[in-house]
Structure 1
Amino acid sequence: MLRFFIVFALLVLFCSCDDNAVFHEFKELPGSWQRDSAVVFKFNAPDSLKPYNAFITLRNDNTYPFSNIFLVTRMQFPNGKTVTDTLEYMMAQPDGTWLGDGFGDLKESKLWYKENIRFNEAGTYQFKIMQAMRRNGDLNAVPELSGIRDVGLRIERINE
């Protein structure tokens, strides 16, 4: 049993090392994702001369009722300028098999947000993610979205 624990601990340490990420944070959702609840991340600008890729990371379980997800993102620059995007991502294959990595009923999806971006303003950036899922025919987002456990933001260096 001790050997298993040591091997498991070494495996976790080995897999958790990531030289490309300059920022990677998850926020756990309490139960369900409320329509009006934004997940907020704040990070300081990395090197302004280098390009980066940005990703949204989601962890979902088998109770997620859709095969896709719509997200509204708002990135606020240190000077106050805000960029808003509405994004759609596929979460499952047509046969219902979940996309993403993981085993069991929890899957982690790394979703492209922006590529080759530069953070050319010094200071703190704020990034908000809101769910915007609707049922067919409805105008408003679902009030509570179940099955999304964690929402994350990941900023990576581009290897040149």
Structure 2
Amino acid sequence: MKSQYLFAVAIVTLLLGCSNENTIVNEYVDIPNSKFSFLDTVNFQVQINDTVNPHDVFLQLRTSTDYKWSNMFIFSDIMFPNKKIRSDTFQIFITDKKGHWKGNKSGAMVNFNHYLYRNIIFPIKGQYQFKFNQAMRDTILNEVISLGLKINKTNNKTLKD
């Protein structure tokens, strides 16, 4: 019993020690019933304090292997602290031309990390709001499990590549 307790403490300590100090945010929002409607808006609030160093912004997507499309179009709005809005449309490729998953598959779930912006510098300190909507012809996309946002400080090695 004592060894199980020590093992659990060691695992928790290891996991806490593995957090990445360069990660500003890494959050997911579950899609209710895995049905992503064009009416659904997925929101993230992010406090940005660094206006000097470049950042990488990723849209993270989790689908089941039963997702029927080879891609997904996403509308994106970023509201800056000064209330200005930047709107973009992104295409995420789910499979290649042969139908092979482009994300990391684990069982019946596939995880995708899609670059939205590389090496961007946030111009203003403050609260940023990121909003995402699906922009496909189907009004409801089945088998979309969750949508996430990840923002990292850009690794200097990445800048040289």
Smaller-chain TM-score range? 0.7 to 0.9
The answer to whether the 8 A contact 1:52-1:157 is kept is: yes
- 4+ aligned runs moved over 6 Å, structure 1: none
2:26 pairs with one of 24, 27, 30: 24
Unpaired runs of at least 5, structure 1: 135-141
Q: Deviations over 1:14-52 (max 9, x none)?
A: 896333311111000001011111100001113111110
Written as runs of structure 1 = structure 2, the 5 A alignment for 1:146-157 is: 146-157=142-153
Partner SS state of residue 154, structure 1: strand
User: Greater CA deviation, 11-20 or 79-88?
Assistant: 11-20
Unpaired runs of at least 5, structure 2: 157-161
The answer to whether the 8 A contact 2:49-2:126 is kept is: no
Deviation at 1:95, TM superposition (A): 2.2
Identity of aligned residues (%): 29
1:35 pairs with one of 24, 38, 49: 38
Equivalents in 1 of 2:42, 2:66: separation in Å?
20
Match in the other structure for 1:88: 91
Figure out how many residues of one structure are paired with residues of the other and give that number. Answer: 149
Higher strand share: 2
Aligned-residue CA RMSD in angstroms? 2.2
Amino acid at match of 2:23: A
Q: Deviations over 1:128-154 (max 9, x none)?
A: 0100112xxxxxxx2211111010001
Specify whether residues 123 and 21 from structure 1 end up closer, same or farther in structure 2 by C-alpha distance, changes over 3 A only: same
TM-score by length of 2: 0.84
